[in-house]
Amino acid sequence: MAGNMGVVLAGGKSSRMGASKAELPFMGEPLLRRVVNRLSEAVDDVVVIGPPTLQTLVPGVLVWSDVTSPVGPLGGLYTALTMAPCERLFLVACDMPLLQPGLVRAMLAVAEAHAASDAVMLQSHGRMEPLHAVYSRSCLAAVEEALARGQRAMHRLLERLSVVTMSQEIVVRADPRGVSALNVNTPIDWGHALQVATELNQGL
């Protein structure tokens, strides 16, 4: 079995941003490449799930096409679980430019310590973060059933899984600004994320 694997979902349509988020420059590099690079600091291998055209943005990184018809993140998770040569993986959306490698490592460690669980999640304002999470191969049957029923919502899937929630103490220690799962869907989100990234680079 391979070591820890990171999977970046990059098949979205970016309709609210008005342009392909994966290609937009963030702190000097395409957003997708930034997320891949940050994730690679925490895992042994990284793959991207999305159209083959993304390959030019991440030279040397495997890009897997969705094995399902386009059904959103749930289809990406299904592709990852069926193709990844490992027991568990860290799944993240390509629009989270402030991903914190230390938090990713902490979440993978919690997953190792709770091997019987299906997933390890962050909880923010009472909601889980399914696109910044660790998933085990044991999720596959539930994912297949959800796809068969046409239930595409990731939060509906979580209702059928054994989920371990990260303790706030560990999260705050690894991500004191609480920005790792901050996603950018609109130009306003983008501007905010750039401001935070600049502050973090300056040590604020």
Residues 6+ apart with CB under 8 A from 8: 32, 35, 36, 39, 46, 47, 48, 49, 92, 93, 94
In this prediction, residue 2 has a pLDDT band, given cuts at 50, 70 and 90, of low
**5 — phi, psi (to 5°)?**
-120, 140
What is the predicted pLDDT for the residue at 13? Answer: 58
Q: Is the pLDDT assigned to residue 14 strictly greater than 60?
A: no
pLDDT in tens, 49-62: 999 999 999 999 99
In this prediction, residue 12 has a pLDDT band, given cuts at 50, 70 and 90, of low
What is the Cα–Cα distance from 69 to 76, expressed in whole angstroms? Answer: 10
What is the predicted pLDDT for the residue at 36? Answer: 97
pLDDT in tens, 116-162: 999 999 998 778 999 999 999 999 999 999 999 999 999 999 999 99
The domain 5-201 is placed in CATH, from the list 3.30.420.40, 3.30.300.210, 3.30.479.10, 3.90.550.10, at 3.90.550.10
Nearest to 22 by CA among 93, 101, 91: 93
What is the predicted pLDDT for the residue at 1? Answer: 40
pLDDT in tens, 69-112: 778 899 999 999 999 999 999 999 999 999 999 999 999 999 99
Lowest-confidence region among 19-23, 37-41, 48-52, 101-105: 19-23
What is the predicted pLDDT for the residue at 30? Answer: 94
Q: Which two tokens stand for residue 6?
A: 């990171």
Question: By the 8 A CB rule, do 131 and 76 touch?
Answer: no
